[in-house]
Amino acid sequence: MTEMVYGGVPVRDVEPILPKWWRTVDKITLTCVLGLMGIGMLLGLAASPPLAEKNGFPYFHYVLRQGIFVGGAMVTMIIVSMLSPREIRRLAVLGFLMAFVALLLLPVFGTDYGKGAVRWYSLGFAALQPSEFLKPVYVVVMAWLFAASQEINGPPGKSWSIFLTLIIVGALVMQPDFGQACLILFGWGVMYFVAGAPMTLLVAMAGFVCIGGFIAYNASEHFARRIDGFLTADVDPTTQLGYATNAIREGGFFGVGVGEGQVKWSLPDAHTDFIIAVAAEEYGLVLVLCIIALYATIVARSLLRLMRERDPFIRLAGTGLVAMFGIQAMINLGVAVRLLPAKGMTLPFVSYGGSSLIAGGIAVGMLLALTRSRAQGEFGDILRGHIR
């Protein structure tokens, strides 16, 4: 009787957050990410003690820090993955503003830690790299602009995306950080392609990248040295690529044995950029193939779930996130086997580094949130609704 007078009572979603999250999240992708984190801890035990000994720290100093970073990344990933697409967008806008300002202020307040590139803020107890945190929120904001531009009387989101991307790429090149600049351009290009970019624009952007690379080669001695080292027929055995190549060759199929590898004593970045060389030397091709399979599964599963998504924003943001995640892994692996010039890029969830791990947790958390199962109805139901 009450409903007849006052109308029906709206049905509320009373399912608890955790059971609903577990029911809708992509468990295979989640398992693969946790597997990569576990492998990262395992390789950290092998790769980081020589660095700790060199710097006068306790033997497992970097391993313990890696454990803290992994725990923080895991908690961050799970919390972010529980958010709705609207909450993801709001979080990304706020994060983008903060990371964008931090990136622009790097020349004033940043430090290079003796590596020749001003990419970090020194916090005393740790270092913060703004570009790592910028990548996931940048993708979501660009996806929002692309999706908004497709609406009737929508804003010129595509033009705004080009303007913001050029500013970010310019700030990264000034550090210099050509690897992250290429990642930003790649993520933007993938999303623009999915959103229906004209081929002339994509060709023009490819030409712009080639011209930029030519200018960087002639203007930056550091950049030119890396390109020359990549193009030369002979590999200097005393360089990073030389050590990594030799370690991979020595590892063979099953590795030289746990703790028996030598590359970690020679490579200054064995625990970060060249962690895959440690894996190949001590555990062999078997572990390397397992790592590649985990990355491939994450990318394939995410894209398959996104193909069923009809919301343009979710589809674009998810595609950009998984594309940037996959290409970063490919670049790191390609550098180690000399398919690509050295980039100074970490292997997601496997390399040591607080900024990389926490930012990776945010990125994959967003991806898991966007690929969660949600009721969308059938295409036939939508068509019948429009006909009515």
pLDDT for the residue numbered 199 = 78
pLDDT for the residue numbered 69 = 93
**Which residues pair with residue 127 across a beta bridge?**
122
DSSP 111: B
Q: How far apart are CA 40 and CA 352, in angstroms?
A: 8
pLDDT for the residue numbered 237 = 64
List, in sequence order, every beta strand (DSSP E) within the chain.
121-122, 127-128
**179 within 8 A of 331, measured Cβ to Cβ:** yes
pLDDT for the residue numbered 386 = 46
pLDDT for the residue numbered 13 = 56
pLDDT for the residue numbered 360 = 95
What the block records as the tokens of 126 is 């740790």
Task: Give the residue ranges of the chain where pLDDT is below 50.
Answer: 1-2, 4, 6, 11, 377-388
> Which residue in this structure is represented by tokens 């092998």?
46
Sort residue 222 into left (φ over 0), alpha (ψ -120 to 50) or beta.
alpha
pLDDT for the residue numbered 383 = 44
Q: How far apart are CA 134 and CA 159, in angstroms?
A: 20
Predicted TM-score (pTM) above 0.85: yes
CB-based contacts of 20-27 (< 8 A; 24+ apart in sequence): 21/81, 21/82, 21/372, 23/373, 24/372, 24/373, 24/374, 25/81, 25/368, 25/372, 26/301, 26/302, 26/305, 26/368, 26/371, 26/372
The string over 85-114, giving b where at least 16 C-beta atoms fall within 10 Å of a residue's C-beta and e elsewhere, is: beebbebbeebbeebbebbeebeeebeeee
pLDDT for the residue numbered 213 = 77
Q: How far apart are CA 227 and CA 249, in angstroms?
A: 23
Q: How far apart are CA 306 and CA 287, in angstroms?
A: 29
**384 within 8 A of 36, measured Cβ to Cβ:** no
Task: For the chain, give every domain's residue range.
Answer: 23-372
